[in-house]
Chains A and B, each alone.
Chain A
């Protein structure tokens, strides 16, 4: 059974700092790995999707990497801004089902 873990659970950084969020999964037989953003009381916004054959994906200040062999993915946020404050979730897709981590709550202080 796939288990997805995210570290740290919470993170507070000053504006402008580069940061890394970590995601690990137990079953490397995944189709893809996705990162989402969730604002309080709201739905999810898909940030990046990395196919199993890919190593990374980039979108603006976001870069996500995937290492299937070690069961790890990272989300790198460059030059963080207060507007980046949210909960970031990673999810693995093993059989057309997403298994979510518990998320990292990020606070970017002005």
Chain B
């Protein structure tokens, strides 16, 4: 099956620093990638939809200036958490699919802890 690689798997940073998370589709081209956030014991919440070559579409309540998304190629999307604060500590997961209405394949997630 398709493989989506997400790095890093875990990051601990100081408050005020920026953290970049990469999501790569290793064996297929993904026009669209998605970024989710999951707080402990809660469901995944869609943060934004990342389209190659265009601006990301953010869900209501997600600060686009804080969560910068770049989808520079058909196989790579990045999420940068700028000026991270402890309340940004969460599990971030990306996903991608080959085509519309096909299965989504997920990265292994990134556990972000902001001290």
Complex contact B101–A93 (CB within 8 A)? yes
Interface residues on B, range: 20 to 34
Q: Who on chain A is nearest to B111 by CB?
A: A41
B interface SS class: strand
B residues engaging A (CB < 8 A)?
A: 4, 6, 32, 34, 36, 42-46, 49, 91, 93, 95, 100-109, 111
Whether A63 is near chain B, meaning CB under 8 Å from some CB there, is no
Once the chains are docked, how many angstroms separate the CA of A98 from the CA of B109?
Answer: 17
Whether A61 is near chain B, meaning CB under 8 Å from some CB there, is no
Once the chains are docked, how many angstroms separate the CA of A62 from the CA of B91?
Answer: 27
Complex contact A49–B106 (CB within 8 A)? no
* Contact A43:B6 (CB < 8 A) given known A97-B46, A100-B43, A101-B43: yes
Closest 3 CB pairs of A and B: A44-B106, A43-B108, A102-B43
Once the chains are docked, how many angstroms separate the CA of A31 from the CA of B97?
Answer: 15
Which of A4, A31, A43, A99 is the most central at the interface, judged by chain B CB atoms within 10 Å of its CB? A43
Complex contact B44–A89 (CB within 8 A)? yes
A residues engaging B (CB < 8 A)?
A: 4, 31-32, 34, 36, 41-46, 49, 51, 89, 91, 93, 96-103
Q: Given known contacts A4-B43, A32-B101, what 8 new A-B pairs fall within 8 Å (CB)? A: A31-B101, A43-B93, A43-B107, A49-B103, A51-B101, A96-B32, A96-B101, A102-B42
Closest Cβ of chain A: how far from B112's Cβ, in Å?
Answer: 12
Q: Who on chain B is nearest to A51 by CB?
A: B101
Complex contact A98–B43 (CB within 8 A)? no
Once the chains are docked, how many angstroms separate the CA of A98 from the CA of B102?
Answer: 12
Closest Cβ of chain A: how far from B103's Cβ, in Å?
Answer: 5
Cβ of B109: which chain A residues have Cβ within 8 Å of it?
41-43
Complex contact A44–B101 (CB within 8 A)? no
Complex contact B43–A44 (CB within 8 A)? no
Closest Cβ of chain A: how far from B8's Cβ, in Å?
Answer: 13
